[in-house]
Structure 1
Amino acid sequence: MAMPRPGEHNFQGEQPFADAQFDIFDWHPYFQSCVRFFLDHAQYEGPIQALAAFVNIQLPFQKSQNPVLSSRANSPSNGGPAAAAGVPQLGPGAGFGATPGRSALMGQASHVSLVPYIRRLVATGFDFPAVLHGFFGDDWQRGIGHMHEQERRNFLFATKSNSWLDVKASYDMGVDETIPFLKPLQNTTEKEIVAAEAAWSEWLAMQDWMVGPRALPMSPPARRGGSERKVHIKREET
């Protein structure tokens, strides 16, 4: 399976999952480690709760419906997943509301997608390594590093193809979790921009069905808008 090696920055024009060295079965345990850290530890830390409140995204235990208190399956005999994970029990004033009752803890799912949190950190400019480590633990580079890279590219694509209002709407998460602000992509490197330009050119080519047997050889993109110019020039020559 063709994907980049987890934790390695791959800004050479390839999409994530385009490096033959990547092994999805090697990657998955690191991803699971990030999920466990986020559910069992990070969401109960004061700094993480403060940042989540600032960017207006609810942590799993704060959800009014089907809150997830830990990565472990709930059991009615052990006082709920928080006790099983050794995390502090939350009082009535914690988070967005009172602690769910015993009956509410029974049978709830323990899976949580990390993508909404990565997207919110990217779009608000908080996707620094220290913050990602605080959210997802020591294995964040190998577990969610490639997802982080792809969400940064997605943010670039969204801002290039839509107005500010449309981009904001696409990053809102319902009426209770609208994104409070957008910030330009932080700590962007020249390699990252060049890779995004190359991928954008491929997208433009696909819009004209220039794929498969009709695919055109893509020249390295110029620095400012060169990717689009290269595509259009080649179209005129064919």
Structure 2
Amino acid sequence: MNPPTRLLPMQDSQFDILQWYPQFQSCVRFFLDHAQYEASVQAMAAFINIRLPFQKSQSPVTSSRPPGSPSTIPSPSLTAAPAGKFAIPSQACLPISLTPYIRRLVATGFDFPGMLHGFFGDDWASGIGNLHEEERRNYLFAAKASNWLHVKSQYDMPDGQSIPFLRPLQNATEEEIVGAEKNWSQWLAMQDWMIGPRNPEDIPPIIKDENV
């Protein structure tokens, strides 16, 4: 259910952004060219009160293709590879951000694998899996740092797209909580300027002299 640790750029120095990026592009194209036209995705977007790209009143995005392309409405025969994978041109443009949709799914508790697959396609784990894990951690941090009303305001969006409800982080694992605790401790250390040469991990322990 969770992407491999090697996909988490905040935790793995071996994360290869150039290998990750085509998978991310695949998720964007699947979302724009296929998912946003599915009745199930439209129903979920309406329920959690977020507009899909083609529904925006200003500058709607109906396809991953640049304006002026031969076809505005995507055709599966032209855009789709088998089973939810989309071909990626080497110079593909990304007209939207997927982050607002990931954030809204996390905060409403609908970020389970089946839903992420429906929104972002077969490449979701490798394409947006690391972003999903970071947004789950950000949600934990937001809850720890402030009260419910302030957290809700951070997940509201303009043009009437306020989040209808918040749910506690769903299906949290012990590993995920421990990782969040470690990163939260690092954040608190930075608030006290305990970074660089003052990083507590770099300060040798104080050894008590039993003869004193």
Of 15, 25, 40, 1:22 maps to 15
Alignment gaps of 5+ in structure 1: 1-5, 88-108, 219-233
Corresponding position of 2:209: none
Q: Which residue of 1 aligns with 2:40?
A: 47
Report SS of the residue matched to 1:192.
helix
Match of 1:142 in 2: 126
Q: CA deviation at 1:110?
A: 5.7
Match of 1:56 among 49, 55, 79: 49
Aligned to 1:192: 176
Aligned residues: 187
SS in 1 for 2:136: helix
**Secondary structure at the residue paired with 2:111?**
coil
Question: Which residue number corresponds to residue 82 of structure 2?
Answer: none
| Range that drifts further, 195-204 or 67-76 | 67-76
Deviation at 1:70, TM superposition (A): 0.5
Cα distance in 1 for residues equivalent to 2:9 and 2:192: 23
1:75 match: 68
Which segments of structure 1 move beyond 3 Å, counting only runs of 4 or more? 15-18
| Greater Cα offset, 109-118 or 143-152 | 109-118
- Distance apart, 1:38 and its partner CA: 0.1
Question: Do the aligned partners of 1:68 and 1:110 also contact (CA within 8 Å) in 2?
Answer: no
- Identify unmatched segments of 5+ residues in structure 2: 77-92, 206-212
Secondary structure (helix, strand or coil) at the match of 1:135 reads helix
Amino acid across the alignment from 1:24: I
2-structure distance, mates of 1:45, 1:69: 13
Question: Aligned-residue CA RMSD in angstroms?
Answer: 2.3
Would the aligned equivalents of 2:49 and 2:164 in 1 still touch at CA under 8 Å? yes
Which of 191, 194, 197 is equivalent to 1:207?
A: 191
Aligned partner of residue 20 in structure 1, secondary structure: coil
**1:160 correspondence with 2:160:** no
1:116 equivalent in alignment to 2:100: yes
- Counterpart-to-counterpart distance in 1, 2:160 and 2:145: 26
State, as a whole percentage, how many aligned pairs show the same letter. 62
Q: Residue 18 of structure 1 aligns to a residue in which SS?
A: coil
What is the Cα deviation at residue 22 of structure 1? 1.4
Distance 1:213 1:36 in 2: 44
Cα contact 1:133–1:140 (8 A) shared by 2? yes
Contact in 2 for aligned 1:7/1:146 (Cα 8 Å): yes
